[in-house]
Chains A and B, each alone.
Chain A
Amino acid sequence: AQSVSQHNHHVILSEAASLELGCNYSYGGTVNLFWYVQYPGQHLQLLLKYFSGDPLVKGIKGFEAEFIKSKFSFNLRKPSVQWSDTAEYFCAVKQGNTGKLIFGQGTTLQVKP
């Protein structure tokens, strides 16, 4: 069965530190890739997406992610985190033309001021 693995369950950083959250998936065909963020008390919001083309995609709030097909990975990065980035981050994969999004377990990011 297809699965999505997020390696870090809980990450604690100080402001201005760099961030990289890992995401690996198990499906070998055509995929669409997403990162969603859930800020405290808010609903899931789309951070960035990859459908095709340039494997380095840029999202909102200075986030970016790189699709590496050979490694089945779609890691999320930000050069310098802010306290307001404290949230839960979910990687999700959609295979081919199905409507099914498969989510990872999520990573809780805590940024200390």
Chain B
Amino acid sequence: ETGVTQSPTHLIKTRGQQVTLRCSSQSGHNTVSWYQQALGQGPQFIFQYYREEENGRGNFPPRFSGLQFPNYSSELNVNALELDDSALYLCASSWTGLAGEFEQYFGPGTRLTVT
């Protein structure tokens, strides 16, 4: 069983630039969620994708957007980067069926630094 993988591991960007982070879900999972974790804090929910559509969104501005592909992998895009966007970005995958969503399994994260 392949776990959740994310790329890249680390990334340094300049304020105002755009970034794309990638996530491959665990095999057998069809749902992907994205979280932002600032230093010393718990993860904050950005959004979730199920069946290639956004299925819930947290308190993040529209410059945070995403995609889910037919193979259930996902991208997180952030436009017009701000210094406060510096954080660890976590992807989590899960199975959603008729009974609802099961537990989420997390990847190792992408550390984004905005200078």
Contact = CB atoms under 8 A, between A and B. Distances in A.
Contacts of B42: 4, 90, 92, 103-106
Band of interface residues on B: 20 to 34
B48 A99 contact: yes
Nearest to A34: B103
Contacts of B33: 99-101
Nearest to B96: A99
B interface SS class: strand
Interface residues of A, number: 22
B71 to A, nearest CB: 19
A90 B106 CA distance: 13
A49 B94 CA distance: 14
A42 B90 CA distance: 13
A46 B105 contact: yes
Interface in B39-91: 40-45, 48, 50, 55-56, 58, 90
Interface string A70-113: 00000000000000000000101010011111111110000000
